Structures are given as structure tokens and as C-alpha cells.
Amino acid sequence: MRADISDSRGGEGKGRLLGELKRLLKEAPVLARRGEETKARKILARGKKLALEAGLQEDALVFQASLLRLENKFDEMVRVLVPVVESPGLHLRGYAYVRLGFAQDELKQYDAAIISYSRALDDPLYDTPGKAWNNMGNAYAEKGEFDKAILCYSKALDLPNYETPGKAWYNMGLAYFNKGSFEEAIECLRKAIDSPEYDTPKDAWEKINAASAKLGLTQAAEEAAAMAEGERIPKADPLNRIMDIMGDDRNKLAEYAAKPGTHYSDVLVILAGWPSVTSTESLLDGGLSQRLTQGGACFIKTSGQGILIDPGFDSLRYFSEMGFHIREVTQVISSHRQRPSYQELENLAYLADQWRNYDTAAKERIPIQFYFDLSTYKDHPLEDVADENIHPLEPGQPRYSLPGDIELKPFETKGSLKSSFGFWLEARLDNGQKRYIGYTSDTGFFPELCTKLADCDVIIANLSDSSVDDIRDNKLSEDHLGYTGLLKLVQGTNAKLYIVSDFRGGAGDARIELVQKLAYDLKKDKRKAEIIPGDVGCLLDLRDLKMLCSSCGEFTSHKRIAVSKPDAAFGRLRYLCKKCLLG
């Protein structure tokens, strides 16, 4: 007979009782999962009693079935529930069907279980449909119908009030795993772990471990295994993996040693735009320091020799950027003491050392010879370079003969720097031709400078500091060439090409304008001189004084090369042939 509690207690009372019964049915499994089975039993017994007291015999049987569930008595569950699930007197129909489905599932009656779950979902009063969807997914998964299972889990997860999404994510992960979709499996399992209510992350980590292993992600697998263990100590000794990573095939030094370097034979390269010391400009903001070319160096490769001059900050980087290799360096010249770039000297010596130790052929070669001004010679940082490979270079000496038919005539410079020298360098090119290259180094202007550099083909002039007084009023600086000193140098010499280097950008980036002003002022004397601002990428062929186009990589007469302004101040200058300039 149908129990109509609304007659005796009123609709409100019935609703309250059913609400309480549902609450108890939801609470018991939570306690059971936590291992508090006695409490769970008590709660179920209380619900059963409440239902019976209200004359709800059919609903009381749902509690009875739940009690049997705790005993794993699935047959009995089915026997108890089947007669009542369709009974009109049953109020907790959805709950009854979900329990029936669960028992059927345990009894491997998956099709019956699926039907039971869908009946539960048909009950409009059933308030935890997510559970039914999740369980239905499990039944499909047991049948091996993983796509259908995944669909069920996503139905559960679509419900906004679904209380245990972690469970559905985990189950979905399992389904994906079992169908061989390991990446999706890992994604779902991670979502399970991320679900706040999910209380068995160990299971998920173990499965992630297995899925990662299937994908060959050794490291991820081990990390997941460690997480499953609740700590970060790997199970297996990582030695083999380390050996693998450090194996010859990934040896960066070997990679570097195998690089050929460039094929250039008679070239002069500028590897600097700005001073060799830390530029304040580079410290102003991140974007600027990204663009700004730091110190760098100048490199002359000729006569089988490679002479790196005044390597400052980042010169090795620019050197490599241009495709050069340490094997191409035979001499290093430091013309004046510049402590801030000592670090680069150390880097260079260390790189050369590493390469020589690695490459047996390199070991046979004469080590890099360092030529230092007296001040640098006294306190250079190269403790690991043998003394015999470091030489003092005295500006008082008339000339130094370097290997490969290179003559170097140093001369004293003027200014606050002690022992610094500029030089005149004579090189015999591969074709027998001679080239004369002048290097001012860091110096104030003095008339003899023009005599020293009188017959040079190319003069590399360090502009260094310039001021308004210097540029507008031609006030010579004591310590640096500046604009006026440079103007006087060009007026007093007759080089085919002047490359202006070592700009200070403290008052802004006016490299191109400064060079334009030189040309403008020289025109008054009817003097026409080829002057270009130097920057990383400025590469001159010493045989014909052709320059490398930064864009197409072809060589063009320096007279037809246009220097283009960088996109933003302090950026790289570009040396463009006519074709590339016109686009």
C-alpha cells in the first residue's frame, strides 16, 4: 500500500524528512570511504528507522541496501532492491536505482547496471545525477566501451553541482589510458589531482607514471612516481639518464670544436659599437640593453693570423655571431688598460684552453699569444696562461714582428691612460699586396698622431667621448679624440677609409649624424673622405676594400655601401649595398 506521508505530516514535513533521508544516504558513503564504517552504519540505521517510523517501507529498503553494500553483499542488494525500484510508494527512486546499478556492476551485470543508472537519471527528484553518470561510465568502461564511458564522465562533469569531479576526471583518465590515449589520460588525471575534493592523488600519480612511461617520457614518469610516493626522491638511480644526457652526442664542447669558423682570409672586422666598459645606457632599461651593442673588439684576419684587438664586453659573443671560431685567433692585443673587460680576456683564454684540451689537433698548435700594454701586463687576470705566451708591448719600441709577415709599430698615446698605445700595422695579404692599418686606441688628439698614421689604407679611430663644446665649438678633449680630434685626424691623414668606433652614447645615439657632420665640415676644405661608423657586422675585405652587405651577404665597394640607421636608437647599424638599400 502506498504510504502518503503528506496526509499525516503535511507536504512540508514530508519534504523535510526526505531531505534528511537523502542527506544521510549521501553522508554514509563519505564516511565509509574515510574508513569510518561504524559511523556510516549508524547513520544508515538511523535513516532506516526514520523511514520506517514515517511508514516509508520502500524507502527504508534503500537504507537496507546501503547497509548490505558495506558488507559487500551485492546479491542480497539486488534481491532487496529489484522488487521495490518501480514501486509507486518509493520516494528515493534515483537512490535505489543507483544502488541497484552498483550491485549489478559488482556482479559484472554491466548491461543491467547501465539500465539501472539511466532509470535513476529518469527520476526528476534524484538530486545527484552526476553520481549516476559517473557510475554508468564505469559500467561502460568495464565493458571496454571507453568512448561511451568518456561521454558519461563528461556528462557528470558538465553538471555544475556535481560534488566529486575529481573522481570523474580520474575515471575518465583511466578510460583514456585503457584505450591507449595516454596524453589525454595524463591531462584528465592531472585535473583529478587538481580537484580540491579528490582524496586519492596517489592513484592518479601512479597512473600518470604509467601513461608517461608509455609515451617514453622517462623524466615525467619518474617525477610522477615520486609524487605518488609523496616525495621527490626518484625510485631509480638517475645515473643512466645523466650518462645519456652527457653522452658524446650532446657534448656542446664537441659541437663547438667541430665548427669550422669562417673562410675569410684577408679581412678586418668591427665587433664593437660602443665602449668596452659597461655602458650606463645598457643599464637604463631592459629593452635598451637588449638592443645595445656592448664593448666588443676589432679583429684582423690576414697572413694566416687572427689578431683580436681590445676585446671588451661581449666580444666573444659578437665574434661567434659573425661566424668566427676561437681557432681563428692567434694573437690578442690589449692596447690600453681597461679593467672592466678583463673578464672577457679570461673568458677568451678559458675558451681557448677548453677547445685545445678537447681537440687533439688544436693541442699541437701554438697557443694564443697575448700582447699587453705595460699596465695591463702588470695586472692582467690570465693566471692560467703560461708566462711565455704573454708579452709586454712597449710603445717606445720601434716595431714588433708578428708571425705571418705582420709588422706592428706601436706609438704612445696622449691622455690620462698610462702605457696605452696606438699602432700602425703592416700586413702582407695572400696576394702579396701590402696593407697598412692604423689604430688610434683610446687617446686625445696630438699632431704626431697624423704622422704615425700617415700612410694607412684604413684607420680605425676611437671616438670615445664627445661633448657639445667639442662638436659645436671644436674644443679638443684631453683624453679622447672626440669629434674635433677625429676631424683633425682625417684632415691630417689620407686613408682610403676611416672607420669610427668606440662611441659613447651618454648623450644619445648620434653615430650616423656625427659621421655626416665630419663629411660636411671636411667639404669646406674641399676634402672628400670615406668615413663610416663601425658596429658589429662591419666587415671589410682588405684586398679590395669591399664591404660585406649586412642584408645579402655580398661584397660591395665601401664607397657604395650605405650605413642605415637602426630601427631604434642604440640598435645595430646595417651596412647595405645599393640593391638591398633600394629593397
Binding interface with Zn ion (CB under 5 A): 549, 551-552, 577, 580
Output b/e per residue, 554-576; b: 16+ Cβ within 10 A: ebbebeebebbebeeebbbbbbb
What is the nearest approach in angstroms of Zn ion to the Cβ of residue 564?
Answer: 11
Tell me how many degrees the CA angle 472-473-474 measures, rounded to the nearest 5: 100
Compute the least distance from the CB of residue 560 to Zn ion, in Å: 10
Counted residue by residue, the chain has a size of: 583
Q: Which residues 6+ apart lie within 8 Å of 387 measured at CB?
A: none
Q: In which order are the strands placed within the sheet that holds 400-402?
A: 400-402, 406-412, 421-428, 434-439, 458-464, 497-503, 531-533
**In this structure, are residues 166 and 156 in contact, taking their beta carbons and an 8 Å threshold?**
no
Nearer to Zn ion, 300 or 577 (CB): 577
Least distance in angstroms from the C-beta of 209 to Zn ion:
56
Instruction: Kindly report the number of other CB atoms within 10 A of residue 305's CB atom.
Output: 18
Question: Which one, 380 or 574, has the nearer CB to Zn ion?
Answer: 574
Q: Which three cell numbers stand for residue 280?
A: 650606463
Cβ(494)–Cβ(454) under 8 Å? yes
Alpha-carbon Rg for the chain in angstroms: 42
Q: Which is nearer to Zn ion, 258 or 552 (CB)?
A: 552
The nearest distance, CB 430 to Zn ion, in angstroms, is 25
Q: Closer CB to Zn ion, residue 390 or residue 577?
A: 577
Let me know: does 122 contact 116? Beta carbons within 8 Å.
Answer: no
Whole-number minimum distance, CB 553 to Zn ion, in Å?
Answer: 7
Shorter beta-carbon distance to Zn ion: residue 139 or 549: 549
Q: How far apart are alpha carbons 298 and 275 in whole angstroms?
A: 12
Of 75 and 554, nearer to Zn ion (C-beta) is 554
Element (DSSP H or E) covering residue 214: helix 201-214
Distance CA 148, CA 142 (A): 11
Which distant-in-sequence residues (6+ apart) come within 8 Å of 111 by Cβ? 143
Shortest distance (Å) from residue 431 CB to Zn ion: 25
Which residues touch 472 (CB under 8 Å, ≥6 apart)? none
- Closer CB to Zn ion, residue 507 or residue 552? 552
Cβ atoms of 181 and 150 closer than 8 Å: no
DSSP per residue, 528-563: ---EEE--TTEEEETTTTEEE-TTT--EEEGGG-EE
Pick 61 or 540: Cβ nearer Zn ion: 540
**Paired strand residues for 562:** 576
C-alpha cell at 464: 670615445
C-beta of 577: minimal distance to Zn ion in Å? 3
Of 46 and 560, nearer to Zn ion (C-beta) is 560
Among residues 455 and 554, whose Cβ is nearest to Zn ion?
554
Decide: helix, strand or coil at residue 7.
Answer: helix
Q: Is 233 helix (H, G, I), strand (E, B) or coil?
A: coil
The DSSP H or E segment spanning 422 is strand 421-428
Residue 390 or 549 with smaller CB distance to Zn ion: 549
CB of 546 to Zn ion, least distance (A): 12
Residue 189 CB, shortest distance to Zn ion, in Å, is 55
CB of residue 549 to Zn ion, shortest distance in Å: 3
